[in-house]
Amino acid sequence: MVTRIISLLLCIALLQQRDLFAQPALPKQVWTPDNGNGTFKNPLLWGDWPDPDIIRVGDEFYFVSTSMHYVPGCPILKSRDLVNWEMAGYAVERFNEDPRYNLEGGQMYLRGSWAATIRHHNGLFYVGFCTPRWDKEPGQFSICTAKDIKGPWTRTIFPEYMYDPGLFFDDNGKVYVVHGQGKLFVTELAAGALSVKGQPVEIWTRPVPKPAGSTAPYEAYNMEGSHVYKVNGYYYITCPAGGTEGWQVCLRSKNIHGPYESRVIIQDESSYPGNGLHQGGMVQLKDGSWWFIIMQDRGPIGRVPHLVPVKWIDNWPMLGKAGNGKGVVDYKKPVSVRNGTIAVPATADEFNNPALGLQWQWNHNPDNSMWSLKERKGYMRLHASLADDLVMARNTLTQRVQGPTSAGTVELGLSNLKDGNVAGFGIFQAPYAYIGVRKEGDVQTLVMVNNGKVMDSIAGFQPRKIWIRAVADHSDFSAHFYYSTDGINYFPFGNQLKMGLGYDWTANRFALFNFSTKTEGVGGSADFNWFRFSGVDY
């Protein structure tokens, strides 16, 4: 008897030690660049907000970003000080031009909105973007318009294709798009900017000079991602070059069609060695100063934006302190806002609102008949569609992982799963990984799946609800997974995911899902009570 008691006590002690080991201290807040003392630090947002473009309308700033295949597309942020940002809306509700955007007959990963451009003219907001197709050349070019940044937006798809577009309204009433990769072109649009007026005119044919010390391949010196400005009679076209290593080039001419001269206006990788600041847009403030939002590749965490001051030197917009061509770490905020508060784009969601929060995007066009925030009040209910695996699972709900470290946790109700359903939570990209519950007949199995392979399982898993946590770390691009049956004690399960970028230029995301591998399971539902986000302490 004494031996049994001692053994029981030892088991309890080991479980307690396992609990302590299994539950890493959770970070407490989302990354914010606002230091709270009139200064800010970079990165501006430590998440995937690539290919930024920016405008000012009155006292508000608006920032648009690429979102690839995620729907809704072309996310737009708003700010009053260029430092604190919140979601404003999306320019594209869904992509209707190909059934594969519905995951019907294939998939369209990567082939959504690229390199968005934003402008405001005569009371209308304009967002333009390109959609490379590869399998259906030459792709598409679209412009979306709205009177209100929140929408509704109207999308016009052009018969002409313009890669990485920069929309520009000239002060003489003409409208242009500068576009291209390597070779750059100017195409004139009609006055309303919704149709092409003229033929493309080639304005740049040669690579930019190779900066000192660059090891990027020669083809990387071709420019793309154009944005256009007119200042003091000069046309300026800013373009990135060098790929991930990256730097920013500016072209300058007195005529929109050239000839253009060039200058490198920033070349700096010091904040993240090997990954330079490149691609973005600039904006003039009410006080006459100029600022540039420019991105930096940070691997599977995403392409993160930095805020950098602009100094005009010899009629060139040089970035950095005193125009030294370098980024800034800590710097005085551009705008002092009375009663300004620290703000970040939303993350956590209790699913108590009738409309989906702006922090969420679907992996493809959603089937709106198969999800609901109203069927069970306070829950996101995902009904299962037929799919072989997570890659082809419709209505996978996602939001960005963030750096330096971020954790997402969900509470998931399992009572309404049907035979063939697989419901869970994890991190989506290629590769992906998750913890989920798989139902076969009347038997439930807890599984940890890493890129399609079951790495761990517990058969006969009986709980009617489960808590699942995923933790992503930028230091080694790893993600770890935990589960709980009481919402208090979390246990590691399976193995780590080495986060990658199989879908190029699209960062890893937290993902909620429910799909069915059997037709009899279609319609079975998973109820997510909440999603809670934790960001790193710093």
pLDDT one-digit tens code per residue, 503-520: 988 999 999 999 999 999
Question: Could you please report the per-residue DSSP string of 419-456?
Answer: TTEEEEEEEESSS-EEEEEEEETTEEEEEEEETTEEEE
| Structural domain for 74, as ranges | 39-332
| pLDDT at position 7 | 35
Q: What is the pTM of this model?
A: 0.92
Annotated catalytic sites, by residue?
A: 51, 224
CATH number of the domain where residue 121 is located: 2.115.10.20
Residue 233 lies in a domain: yes
Beta strand 491-492 with 405-413: parallel, antiparallel or unpaired? unpaired
Q: What is the pLDDT of residues 195-225, one digit of tens each?
A: 999 899 999 987 776 666 666 665 566 899 9
pLDDT in tens, 114-170: 999 999 999 999 999 999 877 766 799 999 999 999 999 999 999 999 999 999 999
- Residues 328, 352, single domain; the answer is no
Is the residue at 13 inside a domain?
Answer: no
Convert the pLDDT of each residue in 55-104 to its tens digit. Answer: 999 999 999 999 999 999 999 999 999 999 999 999 999 999 999 999 99
DSSP line for 384-396: PEE-SSGGG-TT-
> Who contacts 421 (Cβ-Cβ below 8 Å, separation ≥6)?
384, 437, 438, 439, 514, 515, 516, 521, 524, 526
Res 15 pLDDT > 60: no
Residues 506, 452: one domain?
yes
Domain end position, chosen among 276, 306, 332: 332
3-class DSSP state for residue 260? coil
Q: Which of 8-22, 308-322, 329-343, 488-502 has the lowest mean pLDDT?
A: 8-22
pLDDT of res. 220: 60
Contact 142, 129 (CB under 8 A): yes
Q: What is the pLDDT of residue 360?
A: 98
First to last CA, the chain: 51
Residue 28, domain member (yes or no): no
Structural domain ending residue among the three candidates 332, 357, 382: 332
Task: List C-alpha distances in Å: 510 to 61, 147, 402, 519.
Answer: 28, 33, 10, 27
User: Does 11 map to a domain?
Assistant: no
Question: How many C-beta neighbours within 10 Å does residue 525 have?
Answer: 23
pLDDT score at 218: 57
Same domain, yes or no, for 238 and 91? yes
Domain presence at residue 34: no
Same domain, 269 and 399: no
Cβ atoms < 10 Å from Cβ of 320:
21
pLDDT tens figures, 258-271: 999 999 999 999 99
3-state secondary structure 94-115: CCCCCHHHHCCCCCCCCCCEEE
Of the candidates 450, 369, 404, 417, the one whose C-alpha atom is nearest the C-alpha of residue 528 is 417
Asked if 440 and 326 sit in the same domain, the reply is no
- Asked if residue 310 and residue 358 are part of one domain, the reply reads no
Rounded to an integer, the average pLDDT of 232-244 is 95
317 and 424 in a single domain? The answer is no
| 354 domain residue, yes or no | yes
CA angle at 224 for the pair 222 and 226, rounded to the nearest 5°: 140
481: nearest Cα among 423, 433, 413:
433
How high is the pLDDT of residue 501?
94
Q: Where is pLDDT greater, at 188 or 341?
A: 188
Q: 149 with 108, same domain?
A: yes
225/280 Cα distance (integer angstroms)? 8
- For residues 321 and 351, membership in a common domain is answered with no
* Counted domains in the chain: 2
- Residue 99 backbone dihedrals phi, psi, to 5 degrees: -60, -20
The DSSP call for residue 210 is P
312 and 377 inside one domain:
no
The tokens for 428 are 């989506």
Out of 210-219, 393-402, 497-506, least confident range:
210-219
- Both 315 and 419 in one domain: the answer is no
Task: State residue 198's pLDDT score.
Answer: 87
Domain edge (last residue) among 332, 358, 376: 332
319: which strand partners? 310
Q: Is residue 173 part of a domain?
A: yes
* Same domain for 239 and 293: yes
Answer whether 266's CB lies under 8 Å from 306's CB. Answer: no
DSSP secondary-structure letter at 209? Answer: P
Domain harbouring 453, CATH code = 2.60.120.200
Residue 159, preceding bond cis, omega within 30 degrees?
no
Mean pLDDT (the chain) is: 92
Identify which has the larger pLDDT, 466 or 12: 466
Q: How many angstroms from the chain centroid is the CA of residue 55?
A: 19
pLDDT tens-digit readout, 279-305: 999 999 999 999 999 999 999 999 999
Cβ–Cβ under 8 Å, residues 158 and 141: yes
Question: Which pLDDT value is given to residue 17?
Answer: 36
